[in-house]
Amino acid sequence: MTFTPVRRASAPAATNAAIRVVLSDDECLFRASLRQLLGVPPQVIRDVYGVDVGPGFEVVGEAGTGEDTVRVVEATRPDILLLDLSMPRMSGLEALRELVKHQDTMRTILLAGTIDRQHLLTAVYLGVRGVLLKDVTTELLFEAMISVVAGQHWLDRTLIADLLEGVRPLIESSTAAGGSRSYGLTAREREVLSMVVAGYSNKDIARACSVSEQTIKHHLTRMLSKMGASNRVELAMLAARHGLVSSETLPAADAPPSLPVASIPALAARR
């Protein structure tokens, strides 16, 4: 999978300490590869991959089972947990349930060879900040880690369709219940929001609304402020939770979208 984000990720400027990481995977060779990768000097990462990781990473613990993951996280309190979805005896999601109380201080990125829609939605519900397939490029792994530490979300773009289809029933049930919260959005802002949920890029939204791309950016800035969201992912989740988007505005479940679906990294970057 190859994809170039809209902007380069950079480490949060608020700390000079290395980002503390726990590696959780039942494959020893995979953990060893991650450990070596995260041990590369920050300057080399900047020069080779174009990603600013600040002072870099420090692997503070490793685990090969779900049970060990819980114990290691409890003992080390890392900044990031790189968590394998499929592990023996206790899966990554089961371990995540045991670690919910740490989600305010620890960012979790779920790693998976493959992941079905239900597991994806469960992972999001349990508070993961990122979901990556294991064939992800090194560059995107670094960018995902820096992004989640900065409070953003990151999703492998091949999983976008599953996330949108999973969110659709939430939107429909919330709309049917009539319990929506308007956030003071204008009619045009709600129109833009529906296209954000559907995954359209700023360029495509501007074309559909017959306005400039800069105008769409202004709409998004106001919407982020009104709804208290930090990026497009959170806008979409709030829209689902409060029934702000009618299901009729979303692409049909059995048809491809008429416009290209943007990736979650790009959604978080575009303001």
Amino acid at 13: A
- pTM (2 d.p.): 0.61
Rounded Cα distance, 28 and 108, in Å: 20
Question: What CATH number did the domain enclosing 124 receive?
Answer: 3.40.50.2300
DSSP conformation class of 258: S
Contact partners, residue 44, CB within 8 Å, separation at least 6: none
- Same domain? 148 vs 183: no
Q: What is the pLDDT of residue 249?
A: 47
Range(s) of the domain holding residue 29: 19-155
- Same domain? 74 vs 93: yes
- Same domain? 56 vs 151: yes
Amino acid at 66: G
Of 155, 174, 208, at which residue does a domain stop? 155
- Same domain? 234 vs 259: yes
Q: How confident is the model at residue 22 (pLDDT cuts 50, 70, 90)?
A: very high
- Same domain? 131 vs 167: no
- Same domain? 151 vs 165: no
Determine, yes or no, domain membership for 5.
Answer: no
Rounded Cα distance, 254 and 150, in Å: 36
Of 140, 155, 170, at which residue does a domain stop? 155
What confidence tens digit (pLDDT) does each residue in 150-198 have?
A: 888 787 766 765 665 655 555 555 444 444 567 888 888 888 888 887 7
Of 100, 130, 155, at which residue does a domain stop? 155
pLDDT at residue 113 is higher than 80: yes
Q: How confident is the model at residue 86 (pLDDT cuts 50, 70, 90)?
A: confident
- Same domain? 108 vs 187: no
- Same domain? 265 vs 233: yes
Nearest Cα neighbor of 153 from 233, 99, 37, 250 is: 233
Determine, yes or no, domain membership for 4.
Answer: no
* β-strand partners of 24: 63, 83
Q: What is the pLDDT of residue 13?
A: 47
- Same domain? 144 vs 194: no
Q: What is the pLDDT of residue 260?
A: 34
Determine, yes or no, domain membership for 213.
Answer: yes
Higher pLDDT, 177 or 207: 207
- Residue 229 has a CB neighbour count (10 Å cut-off) of 18
Determine, yes or no, domain membership for 11.
Answer: no
